A = this chain, B = another copy of it.
Amino acid sequence: MDITVAVDAMGGDHGTHVTVPAALRFLDEHPDVNIVLVGMPDAIEAELRARHRTLGPRLRVQPATEVVTMDEAPQSALKNKKDSSMRVAINLVKSGGANACVSAGNTGALMATARFVLKTIKGIDRPAIAKMLPTRKNTFSCVLDLGANVDCTPQHLVQFAIMGAMLVSATRQQARPTVGLLNIGEEEIKGNEVVKEAAELLRRSNLNFHGNVEGDDIYAGTVDVIVADGFTGNVALKTSEGLAKMIAEQLREEFLRNWWSRLLAGLAWPVLSRFKKRVDPRRYNGASLLGLNGIVVKSHGGADRMAFYWALSQAVDEARAGVTQRIAEQVQQELELLAAQPAAVSPDTPLA
C-alpha cells in the first residue's frame, strides 16, 4: 500500500533546511511513499532548487501561509493560525489527503491542534505521547505518556496501556506485548492510589499486564510498554536525555585529555562510532501522538536531517500498520469486557 505523509515543512528550529532534505532522502529510499510538503511555497521551492530537485507525482507542495512559532501558546496557535503549516498538515490527515503527518513544531500546539481537528478515538478520553526507547536487550520499550497529561485517573492510565500495546503490536509484530505500570519500589509505599487502582483495572483487562515496574526497567527491557502519567513520564525522558549527554561529554573529555588519549581515540574510532550509533538519540526521534483519529508524529524541535528522517519512518510504520484502527478496535473490546464484569463490591461497602 502506498503511504502519503504530510510534512509540516516549516516546523522545528531549522524549518525547511531540515524537513525538505530529510523528506527527499526518505522518498529516495522508500519508493512506495509519497510526501506532501506543507508550508510557504517560496521557502520550500528554494530548498528544492538548491538540491536540484523538482516536484512530481510523489512530491507535492500544499501551501500554508502561517507558521506556529516554537514558543507560541497552544490556544493562540489554535485560534489565530488557522492556515499554519502545522494545521494544514493535520487537515490533510483529517481529509484523507495523507495517511499521517509529521511536525517538529511546538508540542503543545501540535497536540492541541491535532486533538481539535482529528478528535480522539471513541473510548479514549485524552491522547498521549509515546516514544520507543532502546533497551539492554536490544529491544525497545514504548513509554507513555511523556507529557501530554499531568494529572491522570486510573482509567486514563488504562487507555494509555491500550494505546501503547496496540502501537507495539502493530508496528513491531508482537502479538501480545507485555505492559508494565511505572511505580516505585519502596516497601512502605507501593505507589499512589491512582497507580494502585490502574493496576487493578489492568489485571482485569485483556492486555498482557506484567505488573509494576520501576524506572530502571525502562532500559532493562523488562516489558514492551511502560505506562505512566505525563508528569512522571516526561521527567523520566528528560532525565535520561540529560544523563546521556553528561556521559557522552565525559567520555569525550577523557579521550581528548592528552595526545596519547587522542591517538587512541583515532585508532578506536570504529569502535567508538559503533557505540555512538547505538546510543544516538536521533535514531529514536519521533514521538507518537496516540489516541487520535489519525497518525501524528512529533519530531524533536532541534532535530537534524537524520533525526527528522527517523520521525518520518515512525509515521510511515504507523500508517502501514493501521495503528489508529488497532487502537479503536482494542478500546471497544476493553470497554465491552469491563462492562461485562461487575465492579468488585466489598461486603462492607454501604449501599448508597
Whether A136 sits at the interface, judged by CB under 8 Å, is: yes
Q: How far is the CB of A241 from chain B (nearest CB, A)?
A: 5
A323 CB, min distance to chain B CBs, angstroms: 23
Interface residues of A in 89-113 (CB under 8 A from B): 106-109, 111-112
Q: Mark A229-244, 1 if CB is under 8 A from B, else 0.
A: 0111011111111111
Residue of B nearest to A190 (CB): B150
Whole-angstrom distance between the Cβ of A189 and the nearest chain B Cβ: 5
A239 & B215 in contact (Cβ 8 Å cutoff): yes
Question: Is A71 part of the binding interface, using a Cβ–Cβ cutoff of 8 Å?
Answer: yes
Contacts of A247 in B (CB 8 A): 244, 247, 279
Q: Which of A254-302 contact B (CB under 8 A)?
A: 254-255, 257, 261, 264, 267-268, 270-272, 274-275, 278-279
Across the interface, do A217 and B242 meet the contact criterion of CB distance under 8 Å? Answer: yes
Determine the chain B residues whose CB is within 8 A of the CB of A219 once the complex forms. 239, 242-243, 245-246
- Is A132 at the interface (CB under 8 A from chain B)? no
Q: Does A74 contact B (CB under 8 A)?
A: yes
- The answer to whether A43 has its CB under 8 Å from any CB of chain B is no
Q: A186-B108, A191-B150, A192-B151 are in contact. Are A216 and B238 (CB under 8 A)?
A: yes
Identical chains bound together, number:
2
Main secondary structure of the interface of A (DSSP, over half): helix
- The answer to whether B189 and A218 touch across the interface, beta carbons within 8 angstroms, is no
B246–A135 contact, CB under 8 A? yes
Contacts of A134 in B (CB 8 A): 246
Kindly state the separation between the CA atoms of A257 and B297 in the bound complex, as whole angstroms. 36
Interchain CB contact under 8 A, A188 and B239? no
Which chain B positions have C-beta within 8 A of A214? 234-235, 238
Nearest-neighbour CB distance to chain B for A2, whole angstroms, equals: 34
Contacts of A240 in B (CB 8 A): 215, 239-240, 243
Chain B residues lying within 8 Å of A123, measured Cβ to Cβ, are none
Would you call A351 an interface residue if the criterion is a C-beta within 8 Å of the partner chain's C-beta atoms?
Answer: no
Residue among B182, B187, B254 making CB contact with A274, cutoff 8 Å: B254
Determine how close the nearest CB of chain B comes to the CB of A232; give it in whole angstroms: 5
Cα of A275 to Cα of B247 in the assembled complex, Å: 9
Residues of B within 8 A of A182 (CB): 235
Residues of A within 8 A of B (CB): 71-74, 106-109, 111-112, 134-136, 147-151, 182, 184-189, 191-192, 214-220, 228, 230-232, 234-247, 249-251, 254-255, 257, 261, 264, 267-268, 270-272, 274-275, 278-279
16 further interface pairs, Cβ-Cβ under 8 Å (given A147-B184, A184-B235, A254-B271): A74-B188, A107-B186, A108-B187, A134-B246, A136-B246, A136-B249, A136-B250, A148-B186, A189-B230, A214-B235, A215-B234, A218-B242, A220-B246, A255-B268, A264-B264, A264-B271
